[in-house]
Amino acid sequence: MPLITHQISSVSDLIEILRRDFLPPTITWYRGHSNSSWGLVPSIARNPAHLQAELTAIKMFKQNAWTHLKDRPSDEWEWMFLMQHHRAPTRLLDWSESPLIGLFFAVEEQDQLGEEGALWLLNPVSLNRQSGHRRAFDLDILAFGADAELEQYVPEQVNARRVMLDPVAIIGPRNSARMVAQSGTFTIMHANPKPIEQLGDVGHVQKVLIPANAKARIHTELRLLGITEYSVYPDLDRLSALARSLFQ
């Protein structure tokens, strides 16, 4: 099955696609790319050499993170999510349950305004079925700390095994203001670095293309809907930037 693609030039175009094809009970996650050529692979898999250095990078992060932490991670999962939160290379790929948040990430980067963007639409239930995980309840999604199958995806386990499992969709506690604001969810890669959009029959993912000349309009429409840098990144740095904007 070829990858299904759409094209939009406004927020209303996206709403029409979602209304037509993605109404509940379908579960859909969203990820925005400012460049449509980027595939659905986590940062650590974009260079094969990075995978070989993964465990060393984790050790280094743990060694030096202690003095910066008030609440320290209690297990390997929490360390991985902490690294992801601070943009260290991990096997995780960020998604959102909000189409507007995903769209924001597709149009926000100023240095990519001349590039065609993309909004990826993922059915996490279909992805997990494609990867061999069927649940007793159709809409159940794997959760870290709750489903033992996920222990195979912890970096130490991945590096110790010779099997190559496909990526899966996972949820976990939203334990930061950013995770809550972004309605954050994840996919996680095992040893197979194949992009999610190339797995199986590709029925679990679709792609929405955003022409470069439509990005500014969509960015403005998102601001009108209250989707701003501060609403997506609710921290003091963005609040200060919001205050500075009053003097421009």
- Please give the pLDDT value at position 30: 98
Mean pLDDT of 107-113: 82
Three-state SS annotation for the chain = CCCEEEECCCHHHHHHHHHHHCCCCCCCEEEEECCCCCCCCCHHHCCHHHHHCHHHHHHHHHHHHHHHCCCCCCCHHHHHHHHHHCCCCCCEEEEECCHHHHHHHHHCCHHHCCCCEEEEEECHHHHHHHCCCCCCCCCCCEECCCCHHHHHHCHHHHHHCCCCCCCEEEECCCCCHHHHHCCEEEEECCCCCCCHHHCCCCCCEEEEEECHHHHHHHHHHHHHCCCCHHHHCCCHHHHHHHHHHHHC
CA 108 – CA 216 distance, rounded (Å): 9
Q: Which residue has the tokens 């240095």?
A: 111
Higher pLDDT among residues 102 and 146, named by residue: 102
Token readout for 158 is 């991945």
pLDDT for 112 beyond 80: no
Condensed to tens digits (0 to 9), the pLDDT of residues 164-173 reads 889 999 998 8
- Please give the pLDDT value at position 99: 98
pLDDT for 219 beyond 90: yes
**Number of residues in the chain:** 248
Condensed to tens digits (0 to 9), the pLDDT of residues 50-100 reads 888 888 999 999 999 888 888 888 888 888 888 898 889 999 999 999 999
- Please give the pLDDT value at position 198: 94
pTM of the prediction?
0.91
Condensed to tens digits (0 to 9), the pLDDT of residues 29-52 reads 999 999 999 999 998 988 877 888
Q: What percent of the chain has pLDDT over 70?
A: 99
